[in-house]
Amino acid sequence: MKEVKVEVLGPEPPCMRCQAAKKAVEKVAEKLKQTEISVKVEKANVMSKDVVSKYGVLVSPAIAINGVVKFMGRVPNESEVEKTIREAVKKEA
């Protein structure tokens, strides 16, 4: 099984858009379980110095896949998230 790490970057407590982004990622993660892709979803505080220095993200929500920011400042739909995760898996294969 291939594993992908997805981080949803946003403030604490999360805003409505960040919650929506995390929910979209979680739905895709659940769907991809049946296709031999394991998605580990984590929430990271965008206000943390570690997160800012690692990603340089200033606008939330942001979504990083395997350590690379793929979406920033908007909530992607589920098909966009799924497509981007699948592309990340192909690159590692």
Domain chopping of the chain, boundaries: 2-92
**Domain spanning 2-92: CATH superfamily:** Glutaredoxin (3.40.30.10)
Which residue from 2, 3, 11, 6 is spatially nearest to 68, judged by alpha carbons? 6
Q: Hunting for tokens 């505080």 — which residue is that?
A: 45
Confidence of residue 92 (pLDDT cuts 50, 70, 90): confident
pLDDT of residue 41: 97
Strands (E) across 1-93 are located at 2-10, 37-45, 62-65, 68-72
Confidence of residue 91 (pLDDT cuts 50, 70, 90): confident
Q: How large is the average pLDDT for residues 22-50?
A: 95
Q: Per residue in 69-93, is it b (16+ CB within 10 Å) or e — as a string?
A: ebbbeebbeeebbbebbbebbeeee
The answer to whether the predicted template modeling score (pTM) of the entire model surpasses 0.85 is yes
